[in-house]
Structure 1
């Protein structure tokens, strides 16, 4: 049925679903599969695209990981079930250059990177998005749990309705231009149970498929073993040193440690609990100290992607809430811009374990809106 003049379809576009081409980024999991099936059932011209991001037979990959062999097969089965075309694109070289290499180099530099953010930023929302445009798609849809809402002057990014599933921390670098083109049909759902119920309703073969938990190219969360394979011999052994200068032990490479770590330090027998407070890569030292030394109030942030209505530098201060880890709730903070892409963030209440390489994501204090974010870049 044709739309009335000025009427928008469910994706916010002024044309009937049958005349609206949507490229769906399909990882092979239940979320993106439901998005594709839902849009196909609604009559959209759906094109499913799955990225092969690495050789699924390689030592780095694990069975069932995102964008590996089994998942590509599952995405194809969903497309066959719902009757829309499906393509597999080999992005292995792009993924290696844009994500995996930086992940390894960041760890060796003493940072704690978040490769899932870089994958969204540099692969899925860049190269794949351009491919969608090349296919004459009106928009690209994904299975991410985040919301895109119309604002007074432009599309806005908002947290998902389900706080447990919210993926805004991993999508802070989505630019305004990308947001104008992207759609997130699952962001309004209040639980994963709803998604699985839809998958069952559509008869999808992935309805009961478990969620992937780890970084796709890091088996069982063992970052150090992956770094050793990617950069053989790059991690130098060194000393574990107390902040007061005492040498407490030795280590086999700083890649085995993260800021805030307490367990597995190999320096037992001490009267006080000690935590990793600094990774001195240049001198191959792991510096440990008491827990209070982990508390951080001021955080330098760069590579900022700002999604506010006014320019970042239009104010001397922005009172917002920020997340410095994906698993933590937003906390009250003040952003003091240095440039359009750099700022100092001051936490009203100090947080522990703030680490270079992690993201600092900005939120409106009074709503679900996401104002973007940046990268924490200097050690403490």
Structure 2
């Protein structure tokens, strides 16, 4: 492959601008209206769940929440371009992508409540556990893709990360391995401008993160991360090339983190309101709504139904999160090893016997009335 084929364009691909106007492109088309309507409904739900999660944090029902408010187009697109057999490897900020992939919202959010192992079974929807350590999931994704290749499976892996993760050694190792072994992996970097409080300018001097692909021998692509149409086009193309044996692609989506890093962060300490303001006008949800309305594809009733559905899902999530969990002591041993060790079996049996003895004692203990008669 020639080096020129690996380099991204000078400007990010944009098919629908912030005013909702179409921008024709020679190589990429806006997906079908049905696809964009599906994407819009997913964006509406994504925004509502982000807002609901913020409220649950304030109510003490979630320990922490890294919001993807403003980045929902990246989240939704990542799920939409994958086939059923493909795998998604998300970060801690990608709860919306996990849900868009089909995971029940409560199972996706319960991890952030801190009372269950992962919250969801990764094998059901082919979604790896959300990763908090930066970039470690990229290596896992590459290893998974390599294993799938050895098994002869038709599997593409999409690995998500932020711009901060590209400063980690794991990022280099993952991309280098994927390129050398020509693996079916798509790396999606959501460049939202900051690694907590560290701006991109203090992380790299490259023209873009996408330009780093040429150093590994893989395609680099630059896309407007708030344009769902462009994201679906670029990511869909990358997934298709990976499935057809074309190897990995590095996609950089330019977006912005509207909210703080998490609820524990104060973003006003390192950025100004004047910096945030222009990005509010580039909202991916409003942009797509304007385009669909102009196309005559989204009526008031359709929009109202999308928001009503989002409200129902948010209400169900709220009710589930508000219900306190009642863990059983024997759950301590349920998910330690696939095949329990002799020591674990012994400890589990000992606990079960103690619980049974305690239950037996309680059932035979005299009631207060019986005790009074006995005296």
Rg larger for: 2
Interval containing the TM-score (normalised by the shorter chain): under 0.3
Q: Given the two structures, how large is their TM-score scaled by the length of structure 1?
A: 0.24
Higher helix residue share? 2
Higher strand residue share? 1
Q: Given the two structures, how large is their TM-score scaled by the length of structure 2?
A: 0.24
